[in-house]
Amino acid sequence: MEKTFNPSAIEQAMYSHWEDKGYFSPTGKGDGYCIAIPPPNVTGSLHMGHAFQQTIMDTLIRYQRMQGKNTLWQVGTDHAGIATQMVVERKIAAEEDKTRHDYGRDAFIDKIWEWKEHSGGTIGKQMRRLGNSIDWSRERFTMDEGMSKAVQEVFVRLYQDDLIYRGKRLVNWDPKLHTAISDLEVENKDKKGHMWHFRYPLADGATTKDGKDYIVVATTRPETMLGDTGVAVNPNDERYQHLIGKHIVLPIVDRTIPIVADDHADMEKGTGCVKITPAHDFNDNEVGKRHQLPMINIFDQDAAVLARAEVYDVNGEPNDAYSNELPAAYAGLDRFEARTKIVAEFEQLGLLDEVKDHELTIPYGDRSGVVIEPLLTDQWYVRVEPLAKPAIEAVEKGDIEFVPKQYENMYFSWMRDIQDWCISRQLWWGHRIPAWYDADGKVYVGRSEEEVREQNGLGADVALTQDDDVLDTWFSSALWTFSTLGWPEKTEDLATFHPTDVLVTGFDIIFFWVARMIMMTMHFNKDENGKAQVPFKKVYVTGLIRDEHGDKMSKSKGNVIDPLDMIDGISLEDLLQKRTGNMMQPKLAEKIAKATRKEFPDGIEAHGTDALRFTLTALASTGRDINWDMKRLEGYRNFTNKLWNASRYVLMNTEEHDCGANGGDMVLSLADRWIIGQFQQTVKTVHQAFASFRFDLASQALYEFTWNQFCDWYLELTKPVLFKGNDAEQRGTRHTLVNILESLLRLMHPIMPYITETIWQRVAPLTGNFSEGDSIMMQSFPQIDQQLVDQQAIDDLEWVKQFIIAVRNIRGEMDIAPSKPLPVLLKQVSADNQRRLDQNQQFISALAKLESIDVLADDEQGPASATSVIGDMSLLIPMAGLIDKDAEIARLNKAIDKLSGDVKRTEGKLANKNFVSKAPAAVIDKERAKLDDAKSQLEKLKLQKQSIEAL
RNA sequence: GGACGGUUAGCUCAGUUGGGAGAGCACCGCCCUUACAAGGCGGGGGUCACUGGUUCGAGCCCAGUACCGUCCA
């Protein structure tokens, strides 16, 4: 074996081997266990969030596979409507200087499929680097044939159940991309802007209380006044109560609109009067609905002012309550140009009351970067309320559990106030809506044009055109757990793997994805008793991975760390190129480059997949955000190396030797019995940790056992046996070495697959329980055997450790070279300790590097010595020439101070009558024992100090 | 404005049902000892954000305050 662990040499070949052997596929034996991956975006590449969640999923899958389950990790990607369309649009623009319209719809879609063939697999290749034990043969895509069929089926059935409808509603409109987008794709940013105060003249000679013939409304969006259909005041606002029901005449458009009473108007804010534009503001839209105010749309799909407005009633039906005229000067003006012009015109008219600076939140399209416009458009909706009811109950009843539990609040609060879901998108790439219109605009929904004609008795002479729009990507994602398993067919896979067991995902998509999956799955999947089936039983919610300063990782901030760069390493030059390569703003690029140089002066070293995975699990505590710490990764890289070298030691001393695999006399040393018990405790902790999704506790237990017990103590304790023991003792220790290591590797495998497999291939044959071609992946996970925990061995070894530590402490504090063997004298050795000493003299002498151990008679004073106390026993190391008097006094003083503090505190506690009368007996006994112990140690050290001082 | 989460060592984080705080990294000293210097041995370091309450006893339970974060309006 190499002297250091070199992950790059083993990982990729090993992964290919596993994949070729088919180890990732369900075995077909045992209970089903399934995790459906949150499908990454097909245009995406691997980021830290993926690495984090996938490490957790793979750890669970590998654990359950080793527990004998029939495991399936179902993988796939989603078609990411907007993102993918944009990628290909940019590509044809750059390469051919064409737009998608030059291609036409069908040819453009072909182009996208072509792109997907060549570039759509990036993230899959990256996911393989993480060691994910995914059954790639079952990879799905939301646009593949089967899933398209499922999407269509769901749409048609929901429509038939009256759970889908079409309507004119306000949506988040992206004026650049010309499509509705979801809330998730809207980025709200705080900006500095203005609040304009406009005077709206009162109609019919009405006046305010202070005699003015106008009221003042405040707005951040002056241009929308062209679409105002009302002014709201608070019903409790005494300033305006007398004006409720009166009208104002809207300047510029000369439109008479009512003053209504609505709680939406905040008396404390501004003037207390709010202009209402139901067609261009979500809040106003609600107010408009309450007061039957018509909606006047003033913008086209570019958010430029229309030549003629569109007037609708509250239900979105065309209406002539108001004239559709708009001032000609505004026609075709962009909304921001219109704003300037409106303000100027108000000023000119003497109607601009004042302008104030104002902080406001502005919605931006996360892909287009332009300001989102609330716009009235024809869209398809899912009526979610009936679907939400059982979905809420499933979580209330515990059929689905969130981990950690507090995320259930988030789920409930959203589900109990749920809005209908806009599922149509004005894009080309996606599932085309299976709806057709006749010449009169009557809509027919069906699985195909033929079906529609047949079911509605429409002859070939009736012209039908299909809806141009496609469905929101989340619509297909909502069917993910069951459509990937073959629905709407009744497949074997559905019976075996659905409901899936765990969903691992981020809290940011609980609404957009998790909730919708629950609703859709429960509506379309029933078990044999007709009971709705949930998509998964547990939802493990992860936090976000942020950079070392707690900032969100983002391209624009230039603080993204690619998980693969931590696995393979990257030079500073390449990292700078990656972070600033495509930057449009040179200033920002410079800033990022500077920060990157400071953070990674030498680039990033290679750490290997196992170290990355171990770090991720070690940080996975309770669903909260994680500030990424490169030092932590480095520490765990060192840990993989430690494991590597410990294994090297084991192999050096066992390969080519008799390790008792075929019988033969074996004697187990105290250390052997001790480590076997310690290992059992570790197995127990790891099982508990996995069961409760505390991957951090699992990692911690593995780290602690491996480094602090196995390496620091056990391996050292095997040396005296292997060098000096007899055949039976050596065989016993070799047997223990080999078997503990082999079991430890299995225990670690779910978290660190590569290194454990590599070492296991060498170690497992020594246990005698190995066949050519075996893989650790397919072995059983260690189970707890409480009988192997030998409490006396544990107590005895703790005593041995204390003895050794006491000597090392004196050595360290007194600057005595580790190579210098020391004589040790003991006083007040009890029978039990005498036994421990007799049985373990070799261990003690070797690990503490002792020249001799002698027991003094009770009345014997002994020479001037440095002293330590272990229980009742005193341990002395003669100072003779080795130890400085003052240094020893200083050392004793330190120990005495510490003990005095303990004694004082404990005495105080025991002197408290309330404590003694009310605390449980066990606690009091413990305190008494503590006090006795501290007192006796203190006494011994004080005497010792006196005798040294007397020298 | 409402809800939830957080505040523990220089940094990143654990701390189970209340019995006087832990890890990794960083720091200090000594060691290239035959698995490992990506290491070994020893060591230093915390008024557990603040205020009050419950309790014999509070990092942990309760109330409030401050600051940070997230979601919703």
**pLDDT tops 90 at residue A210:** no
**pLDDT tops 90 at residue A776:** yes
Report the range of poorest mean pLDDT among A42-56, A225-239, A353-367, A557-571: A353-367
**pLDDT tops 80 at residue A707:** yes
Q: What percent of chain A has pLDDT over 90?
A: 38
Would you state the pLDDT for residue A651?
Answer: 94
Would you state the pLDDT for residue A713?
Answer: 93
A125 is known to lie in a ligand binding site: no
Residue numbers in A 712-731, CB below 7 Å of strand B: 712, 715-716
Would you state the pLDDT for residue A129?
Answer: 93
Residue numbers in A 748-807, CB below 7 Å of strand B: 805
Distance A617 CA to B27 C1' (A): 27
Would you state the pLDDT for residue A836?
Answer: 93
Instruction: Encode pLDDT of A72-117 as tens digits.
Output: 999 999 998 888 988 898 888 888 888 888 989 999 999 999 988 8
Structural contact between residues A186 and A363, judged by C-beta atoms closer than 8 angstroms: yes
Residue A624 contacts strand B, CB under 7 A: yes
DSSP state of A420: P
Residue numbers in A 7-66, CB below 7 Å of strand B: none
Instruction: Please indicate whether residue A51 or residue A930 has the higher confidence score (pLDDT).
Output: A51
Mean pLDDT of A34-58: 91
Computed over every residue of chain A, the mean pLDDT equals 88
Per CA to C1' distance, which residue is closest to B5? Answer: A624
This model of the complex carries an ipTM of: 0.93
pTM score of the predicted model:
0.89
Strand nucleotide closest to residue A916 (CA to C1'): B56
Strand nucleotide closest to residue A550 (CA to C1'): B69
Strand nucleotide closest to residue A405 (CA to C1'): B4
Mean pLDDT of A549-563: 83
Strand nucleotide closest to residue A651 (CA to C1'): B35
> Which residues have a Cβ under 8 Å from the Cβ of A301 and sit 6 or more positions away?
A173, A175, A178, A375
Mean pLDDT of A611-640: 87
Q: How confident is the model at residue A436 (pLDDT cuts 50, 70, 90)?
A: very high
Strand nucleotide closest to residue A508 (CA to C1'): B71
* Chain length of chain A: 951
Rounded distance between C-alpha atoms, residue A280 and residue A301, angstroms: 13
Strand nucleotide closest to residue A1 (CA to C1'): B35
Dihedral (C-alpha) A130, A133, A135, A137: value to the nearest 10 degrees?
Answer: 50
Mean pLDDT of A278-306: 89
Instruction: Encode pLDDT of A118-137 as tens digits.
Output: 888 889 999 999 999 999 99
Instruction: Encode pLDDT of A856-877 as tens digits.
Output: 988 888 888 888 888 888 898 8
Rounded distance between C-alpha atoms, residue A486 and residue A346, angstroms: 62
Q: Smallest Cα–Cα separation from A766: which of A740, A728, A797?
A: A740
Q: Smallest Cα–Cα separation from A368: which of A526, A180, A202, A510?
A: A180
Mean pLDDT of A276-289: 88
**pLDDT tops 80 at residue A556:** no
The bases of strand B with some atom under 7 A from any protein CB are: 3-6, 11-15, 19-20, 23-26, 29-31, 33, 35-44, 55-57, 69-72
Rounded distance between C-alpha atoms, residue A566 and residue A546, angstroms: 15
Q: How confident is the model at residue A826 (pLDDT cuts 50, 70, 90)?
A: very high
Would you state the pLDDT for residue A944?
Answer: 85
Strand nucleotide closest to residue A417 (CA to C1'): B72
Would you state the pLDDT for residue A501?
Answer: 94
Identify the three-state secondary structure at position A164. strand
Q: How confident is the model at residue A817 (pLDDT cuts 50, 70, 90)?
A: confident
Token reading at A762: 């060498």
Would you state the pLDDT for residue A860?
Answer: 86
HSE on the CB side for A602, CA within 13 Å? Answer: 2
Q: Smallest Cα–Cα separation from A130: which of A186, A59, A51, A62?
A: A51
Rounded distance between C-alpha atoms, residue A213 and residue A204, angstroms: 10
Distance A579 CA to B51 C1' (A): 47
Q: How confident is the model at residue A653 (pLDDT cuts 50, 70, 90)?
A: very high
φ, ψ for residue A545 (rounded to 5)? -95, 120
Residue numbers in A 644-683, CB below 7 Å of strand B: 645-646, 648-649, 652
Q: Smallest Cα–Cα separation from A467: which of A924, A155, A704?
A: A155
Mean pLDDT of A408-427: 86
Q: How confident is the model at residue A504 (pLDDT cuts 50, 70, 90)?
A: very high
Would you state the pLDDT for residue A885?
Answer: 82
Residue A619 contacts strand B, CB under 7 A: yes
List the alpha helices (DSSP H) in A512-568. 516-524, 563-568
φ, ψ for residue A154 (rounded to 5)? -65, -45
Instruction: Encode pLDDT of A318-347 as tens digits.
Output: 888 888 888 888 888 899 998 998 889 888
In chain A, what are the domains? 28-163+386-424+469-546 (3.40.50.620), 173-374 (3.90.740.10), 629-767 (1.10.730.10), 794-883 (3.30.2320), 886-950 (1.10.287)
Rounded distance between C-alpha atoms, residue A588 and residue A237, angstroms: 50
Would you state the pLDDT for residue A14?
Answer: 93
Residue A5 contacts strand B, CB under 7 A: yes
Mean pLDDT of A687-702: 90
Rounded distance between C-alpha atoms, residue A550 and residue A885, angstroms: 52
Residue numbers in A 385-444, CB below 7 Å of strand B: 406, 409-410, 413-414, 417
Instruction: Encode pLDDT of A783-802 as tens digits.
Output: 999 899 888 998 899 899 98
Distance A538 CA to B7 C1' (A): 30
